[in-house]
Amino acid sequence: MDDIIKIENVKFKYSNDDIKYAVDGVNLNIKKGEFTAIIGHNGSGKSTLSKLINSILLPTEGKIFVKGMDTSDDSKLWDIRQSAGMVFQNPDNQLVATIVEEDIAFGPENLGVDPVEIRKRVDDALNTVGMYEYRKRPPHLLSGGQKQRIAIAGILALNSDCIILDEPTAMLDPSGRREVMETLKKLHANGKTILLITHYMDEAVQADRVVIMDKGNIKLDGTPKEVFKNIEEIKKFGLDVPQVTELSQELKKEGIDLPSDIIEIKELVDLLCQ
């Protein structure tokens, strides 16, 4: 698979007066069609990195390429943001119209897309996120999870290959979080590249790949099973591991023969029932 995002020795600080870099020498490639979760405690640099990829911020040092386009090239700004669409923590900040379908049409209209094509894109995007029946509703009457799905539909209507989500479930209840994660898994199954910034371990385990950041650096990078078995190391970064992983490690200490890379409840139950 080709790399859709290339991050080459990127450093960033918010002000010249800052002593420390918010992102400090990061190298990371994201492959097309990959579902990557980036986790880290507050101040680890994960949200800053997502804004650098989307050209909201520009690197102090190093380079970022999205589909081969340099994020510091002003002439490519809209192409980059169309290729790697961004969904933010608070969906209310992304909703601009008084009717759901008008909100989703907003981006393609600004790009000068043909009205017939806009109609098709809006309908397709709403169907993909399971919100077609709400197309005539005012967004402010929707639940948090539904609003976030509308925000995702707005990115889909731009024909974005990659969707970057900066803690999209942080303001949602468990039901809303579940709706958003089911939508992301469906999009990933349909070939979209997903880059999820999160601090929820149960969301990270659903990705293909987990990247852990701390103090602006990448500390661990691998499959969920490879990453989360490093319980003591992860806790040093101020993070938790999935509860089922920690439970299986405690059972191992009590003499039960279990693998060290269990990340799902069903997996543990099946092994114990054997």
Mean pLDDT of 29-46: 94
Q: How confident is the model at residue 184 (pLDDT cuts 50, 70, 90)?
A: very high
Mean pLDDT of 27-51: 94
The fold of the 3-241 domain, in CATH, is Rossmann fold (3.40.50)
How many CB atoms sit inside 10 A of residue 192's CB?
22
> Comparing 92 with 8, which gets the higher pLDDT?
8
d(CA 110, CA 10): 31
Closest CA to 105 of 81, 148, 135, 145: 135
Side-by-side strand order, sheet with 217-222: 84-87, 162-166, 193-198, 35-39, 209-214, 217-222
Sign of torsion over alpha carbons 231, 52, 209, 179: positive
pLDDT of residue 253: 87
Chain CA centroid to CA 90, Å: 14
Closest CA to 201 of 148, 238, 155: 238
Cβ neighbours of residue 253 under 8 Å, at least 6 residues apart? none
pLDDT of residue 1: 59
Q: Is the pLDDT of residue 19 over 80?
A: yes
d(CA 177, CA 152): 13
> Comparing 29 with 262, which gets the higher pLDDT?
29
Chain CA centroid to CA 121, Å: 22
Cβ neighbours of residue 10 under 8 Å, at least 6 residues apart? 23, 25, 26, 27, 49, 52, 59, 61, 62, 63, 64
pLDDT of residue 22: 94
Cβ neighbours of residue 34 under 8 Å, at least 6 residues apart? 1, 193, 194, 208, 209
pTM: 0.90
Q: Are 168 and 87 in contact (CB under 8 A)?
A: yes
pLDDT of residue 92: 87
Mean pLDDT of 59-67: 95
Residue 38 pairs with which residues in a beta bridge?
197, 211
Joined together, the tokens standing for residue 30 give: 């994201």
Q: Is the pLDDT of residue 208 over 90?
A: yes
The DSSP line for 148-216 is HHHHHHHHHTTT-SEEEEESTTTTS-HHHHHHHHHHHHHHHHTT-EEEEEES-HHHHTTSSEEEEEETT
Q: Is the pLDDT of residue 255 over 90?
A: no
> Comparing 253 with 34, which gets the higher pLDDT?
34
**Within a 13 Å sphere around the CA of 187, how many CA atoms are in the beta-carbon half?**
35
Mean pLDDT of 155-180: 90
63's enclosing H/E stretch is: strand 61-66
Mean pLDDT of 72-78: 92
Task: Share the mean pLDDT of the chain.
Answer: 91
Map out the domains of the chain as residue ranges: 3-241
Joined together, the tokens standing for residue 258 give: 């279990």
> Comparing 132 with 256, which gets the higher pLDDT?
132
pLDDT by residue (tens digit) across 85-140?
999 888 888 888 899 999 999 989 988 889 999 999 999 999 999 999 999 999 99
d(CA 109, CA 96): 13
Joined together, the tokens standing for residue 39 give: 């986790």
